[in-house]
């Protein structure tokens, strides 16, 4: 379980532990993982998934810790909201590394372990949290659009490549989710700008909403694969169409 120190990742650790799963919680921030470990009973493992040696070390550690029945890849993120002409190459490069290359490294490193578990226990799971940003562009989103579209295509190709093997490949693509850090980090720590993103939106998604869907996908009967779940708050009908203000029945 990656991205476990905050937001959707942290919420998913709680949801899976509540459902009886043994969870290895992976993220960069060891201190936050330690608190989560103490609270939930998940096993903390600190790693930076953009560093190949960290991914290799994680795979080696998992190989010695017991069977690996699932990979839940939540880690990733966005940097900046610049127009294409103003985009910072270092931000775009980081987004590709964090969202695409980290995912590829994880799959390559953990697939042998997942296959071993599937061979003895009928199936294994891979679950990837992408974004509706992978499905439609928006001004100021090109870098993140491109990175998440790349990750989404990786997932689609993986599902085809694993055809005939008892390994589920699930993609969860959330729209607007109000978490403590995602937009704040994207906007360079600007809290006022961050709050404007959610201003007036009735009931944006919360991390726990996404975690519930991930847990549902993993707990579904082994022959059922949720290829792609796109989820948005009711106030967001499309990537570009977001209602601000109370939701009301027409005519009232």
List, by residue number, the catalytic residues: 144
Separation CA 154–CA 44 (nearest Å):
27
3-state secondary structure the chain: CECCCCHHHHHHHHHHHHCCCCCEEEECCHHHHHHHHHHHCCEEEECCCCCHHHHHHHHHHHHHHCCCCEEEECCCCCCCCCCHHHCCHHHHHHHHHHHHHHHHHHHHHHHHHHHHHHHHHCCEEEEEECCHHHCCCCCCCHHHHHHHHHHHHHHHHHHHHCCCCCEEEEEEEECCEECCCHHHHHCCCCHHHHHHHHCCECCCEEHHHHHHHHHHHHHCCCCCCCCEEEECCCCEEECCEECCECCCCCCC
Those residues with Cβ within 8 angstroms of residue 71's Cβ, 6 or more apart along the chain or in another chain: 106, 107, 110, 114, 125, 126, 127
């Amino acid at each position: 379980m990656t991205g476990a120190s905050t937001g959707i990742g942290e919420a998913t650790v709680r949801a899976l532990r509540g459902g009886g799963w043994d969870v290895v919680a992976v993220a960069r921030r060891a201190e936050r993982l330690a608190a989560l470990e103490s609270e939930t009973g998940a096993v903390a493992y600190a790693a930076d998934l953009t560093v190949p040696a960290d991914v290799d070390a994680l795979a080696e550690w998992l190989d010695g810790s017991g069977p690996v029945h699932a990979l839940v890849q939540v880690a990733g993120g966005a940097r900046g909201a610049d127009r294409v002409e103003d985009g910072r190459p270092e931000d775009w490069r980081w987004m590709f590394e964090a969202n695409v290359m980290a995912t590829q490294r994880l799959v390559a490193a953990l697939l042998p372990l997942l296959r071993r578990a599937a061979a003895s226990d009928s199936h294994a799971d891979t679950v990837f949290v992408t974004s509706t940003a992978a499905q439609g562009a928006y001004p100021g989103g090109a870098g993140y659009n491109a990175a998440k579209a790349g990750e989404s295509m990786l997932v689609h190709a993986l599902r085809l490549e694993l055809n005939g093997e008892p390994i589920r490949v699930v993609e969860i693509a959330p729209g607007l989710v109000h978490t403590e850090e995602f937009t704040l980090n994207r906007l360079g720590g600007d809290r006022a700008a961050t709050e404007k993103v959610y201003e007036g939106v009735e009931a944006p998604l919360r991390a726990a909403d996404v975690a519930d869907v991930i847990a549902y996908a993993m707990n579904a009967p082994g022959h059922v694969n949720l290829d792609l779940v796109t989820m948005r708050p009711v106030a967001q009908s499309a990537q570009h169409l977001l209602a601000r203000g109370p939701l009301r029945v027409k005519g009232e």
